[in-house]
Chain A
Amino acid sequence: MEMKKGTLRQVLLITDGCSNHGEDPIAMAALAREHGITINVIGILEENSPEYHQKGLREVEEIALSGGGVSQIVYTTQLSQTVQMVTKKGMTQTIHGVINSELQQILGKETTIEDLPPEKRGEVMEVVDDLGETMDLELIILVDASGSMEKKLATVQESLIDLSISVNSRIGYNQFALFAFPGKRDDTELLIDWTPRLNSLTQAFTKISSGGITPTGPAIKAAINEFTNRREKRRLITGDEEEYSEGSGF
């Protein structure tokens, strides 16, 4: 099976609570998916969190489900490994989805990788692993900077540097951008513009002034716009654009 290599567009959303401002994040995640962007979500719990807090994190699962991604709820102490695992799984799941839709075109409506005999499935999985390793990755990280997150930002920062180690051990080319929500003036603020490495993080989080609202929906929307603008710019420069997405028609 020969696959055209392109760019994986992923969002990693790190939050500790439910959104309370602007657009519905679940709807925005569905919109992102239509743009071929996968939304992965990590919900951070504190040890001894109150019951209502845990309920609030149900939103986390729904955003990921509607954004075609992976979600995980985690205690602060296990953040690094979770960030790495969720990103990797999200990428694999996106590729898996693309291959499933290709299979459906070839073999008929209801065929997925799971319907193939184990031997064939193994061959397909090698292709999935291969692509996960070699495809270029554009990753937008959205960090919830609402008041309750303030104490956790140091751990978040550490886990993102750790993620950079993992992602940069891949063969493919990587680009990261980091947004915080809410920002100083707007719902979303760009903290780090596109960069191949995340080791310049140390300064980034000191700029955040933790606010009271949690505009998760607007943040996802901002990520969609960022990807779209970037794609548009590149199209103007190179004149063509490789597409690699699960969504239909582009």
Chain B
Amino acid sequence: MMKKNTQKGQVFKLHPGDVISGKWHRNEYSIIRELGSGATGTVYLASGQAGKVAVKAGHDSMAIISEVNVLKHFSRVQGKILGPSLIDVDDYVVNGGQVPFYVMEYLKGESLFQFMKNHNEEWAGILLVQLLTDLSMLHRAGWVFGDLKPDNLLVVGPPSRIRWIDVGGTTQIGRSIKEYTEFFDRGYWGLGTRKAEPSYDLFSACMIMVNLAVPSRFEKKKEGRQQLKDVVRSSPLLSNYQTILLKGLYGKYQSAEEMRNELVSSLNNKGRGKVSGASQTSVGSRRSTHKKVIKKNKRAFMFETVLLGSFLFIVYLFYLISQTM
């Protein structure tokens, strides 16, 4: 029944210098180099009429069109641009076959791992806040990202800002997750379903942090729940955010905003007294202050008031002493 079995075999490759043109819209793109490849196709840097663009060409027409649909929905999300914007969709006719492709905005930046190699570790928390801000907008528009992982993210800038580049897994809330990667999937760890709901993305967001701290994507042993807890507790970077990460991993947050707000206030408290982000504090001391700070905001405030009070009192004492001498 099916005329062309586009699923099977023949991986289609383009090379630098190749020029592809669309059958429907007749636009031409000249391939510069390969940027990366995924399950549904390969992404190339190319130059078109509007300058540098990213071209994704695949062999599975259904998957490509499905992704295009998602990108179109993204452009309908009001206000900020979340994913790369869609420029063109077409087919390239070659050797009697037809290669579906789409063209999107080219985002220049560093991978998450590259970025973290060159920056202080407090950036991990800040990038997570940025990610949660975007997720919260996406969720409010009725979508869940799905396949959230470092490979699908990019840090652009300056100013440094996290952006997502591959939106192929984006799924309407209430449906089943379209695409996932085991390490970042709560179903794999036995910590929930694969239903598209905000908490699904929040789990993956936490696992991105885990992946930054432990670059090898370790496998699940018997009890996923306990294993992840142990990992979070034993890593210096992760234990900074222990309470928030465990809540995210265990599906305790109802929304990205809720998690974001807790993270922001924890980062604020941590950063207090430090002016420059470049000053590196020892991990140990930061960890010890962290626990008190999260839940005991009010008490910390009281404490500081008392401290300030006694400081003034001591100054006053010195003043009195100096007066008498």
Chain A: residues with CB nearer than 8 A to chain B? Answer: 65, 68, 70, 80-81, 89, 92-93, 96-97, 100-101, 110, 112-114, 117-119, 121-122, 125-126, 128-129, 133, 162, 165-171, 246
Contacts of A171 in B (CB 8 A): 174-176
- Interface members, chain B 78-118 (any A CB < 8 Å): 89-91, 98, 100
Taking a contact as CB atoms closer than 8 A, the residue among B1, B3, B4, B187 that contacts A162 in the complex is B187
Q: How far is A96 from B2 in the complex, measured between Cα atoms in Å?
A: 9
Query: Given A165-B194, A166-B187, A70–B176 Cβ distance below 8 Å?
Result: no
B98 touches A165 (CB 8 A): no
Of A68, A112, A165, A167, most buried by chain B (CB within 10 Å of CB) is A165
Q: Beyond the given A118-B100, A122-B72, please list 10 additional residue pairs across the A-B interface where CB-CB is below 8 A.
A: A92-B62, A96-B2, A100-B3, A118-B91, A121-B65, A122-B89, A165-B187, A165-B193, A169-B187, A169-B193
Which partner residue on chain A sits nearest B9 by CB separation?
A: A61
Q: Is the CB of A122 within 8 A of B193?
A: no
Which of B61, B72, B176 has the most A CB atoms < 10 Å from its CB? B176
Bound form: Cα–Cα A112–B91 in Å:
14
Closest to B72 in A: A122
16 A-B residue pairs with Cβ-Cβ distance under 8 Å, sorted by A, are: A80-B182, A81-B182, A92-B62, A93-B7, A96-B2, A96-B62, A97-B1, A100-B1, A110-B3, A112-B3, A118-B100, A122-B72, A122-B89, A125-B65, A133-B175, A165-B194
Residue pair A114, B4 in contact (C-beta under 8 Å): yes
Q: How far is the CA of A96 from the CA of B4 in the complex (A)?
A: 12
Bound state CA distance, A170 and B61, in angstroms?
Answer: 23
Residues of B within 8 A of A119 (CB): 89
CB distance from B232 to the nearest CB of A (A): 23
Report Cα–Cα, A129/B169, bound state, in Å: 13
Chain B residue with Cβ nearest A77: B219
Is there contact, CB below 8 Å, between B2 and A169?
A: no
Q: Please state if B176 and A166 are interface contacts (CB–CB under 8 Å).
A: yes
Assess whether B174 is in contact with A70, with CB atoms less than 8 Å apart: no
Question: Which listed residue (B65, B98, B188, B196) contacts A80, Cβ 8 A?
Answer: B188
Q: For the complex, is B195 an interface residue (Cβ under 8 Å from A)?
A: yes
CA distance A110 to B3 in the complex (A): 8
**Which residues of chain A come closer than 8 Å to B1, judged between CB atoms?**
68, 97, 100-101, 246
With A81-B182, A169-B193 as contacts: A112 and B2 at CB distance below 8 Å: yes
Chain B residues contacting A168 (CB-CB under 8 Å) are 193
A165→B66 CA distance, assembly (Å): 23
In Å, the complex CA distance between A68 and B5 comes to 10
| Interface membership of B243, Cβ < 8 A | no
| Residues of chain B lying within 8 A (CB to CB) of residue A100 | 1-3
- Chain B interfacial positions (CB closer than 8 Å to A): 1-7, 24, 61-62, 65-66, 68-69, 72, 89-91, 98, 100, 174-177, 182, 187-188, 193-196
Q: Is the CB of B3 within 8 A of A122?
A: no
Nearest A residue (CB) for B25: A118
- Tell me if A125 and B69 are in contact (CB < 8 A): yes
What B residues does A133 contact at CB under 8 A?
175-176
Cα-based distance from A2 to B3 in the complex (angstroms): 23
Please name the residue on chain B nearest to A93 by beta carbon: B7
**What residues on A are CB-neighbors of B188 within 8 Å?**
80, 162
Asked whether B68 lies within 8 Å of A118 as measured between CB atoms, the reply is yes
Chain B residue nearest in CB terms to A96: B62
Complex Cα–Cα for A129 and B66 (A): 8
Q: A112-B4, A122-B72 are in contact. Are A169 and B195 (CB under 8 A)?
A: yes
- Nearest opposing residue in chain A for B187, CB measure: A165
Which of B7, B90, B195 contacts A118, CB < 8 Å?
A: B90
Asked whether B24 lies within 8 Å of A117 as measured between CB atoms, the reply is yes
A68 to B: closest C-beta gap in Å: 7
Contact A169 B177 (CB under 8 A): yes
Residues on B with beta carbons closer than 8 Å to the beta carbon of A126: 69
In the complex the two chains form, what is the Cα distance from A70 to B24 in whole Å?
A: 30
Cα–Cα distance between A93 and B72 once the two chains are bound (Å): 23
Residues of A contacting B24 in the complex (Cβ-Cβ under 8 angstroms) = 117-118
In Å, the complex CA distance between A80 and B180 comes to 12
Q: Are A114 and B6 in contact (CB under 8 A)?
A: yes
> Hey, which chain A residues are within 8 Å of B69, CB to CB?
122, 125-126, 129
Q: Which residues of B contact A80 (CB under 8 A)?
A: 182, 188
**CB closest chain-B residue, reference A117:** B24
Cross-chain contact A125 with B175 (CB below 8 angstroms): no
Chain A nearest Cβ from B108, distance in angstroms: 27
Bound-state Cα–Cα, A170 to B172, Å: 12
**Distance in angstroms between the alpha carbons of A92 and B91 in the assembled complex:** 21
Give B91's nearest chain A residue, CB to CB: A118
Contacts A112-B2, A133-B176 hold; do A169 and B68 have CB atoms under 8 A apart? no
Most central of A93, A117, A118 by chain B CB within 10 Å: A118
Complex contacts, B177 vs chain A, CB 8 Å:
166, 169
User: A162 to B180, alpha carbons, bound, how many Å?
Assistant: 13
A133 nearest in chain B by CB position: B175
The complex places the Cα of A167 from the Cα of B193 at a distance, in Å, of 10
By a CB distance below 8 angstroms, the chain A residues around B98 are: 114
In the complex, which residues of chain A have a beta carbon less than 8 angstroms from the beta carbon of B66? 125, 129
Inter-chain contacts of B90 with A (CB < 8 A): 118
Chain B neighbourhood of A118, CB < 8 A: 24, 65, 68, 89-91, 100
Distance in angstroms between the alpha carbons of A212 and B186 in the assembled complex: 39
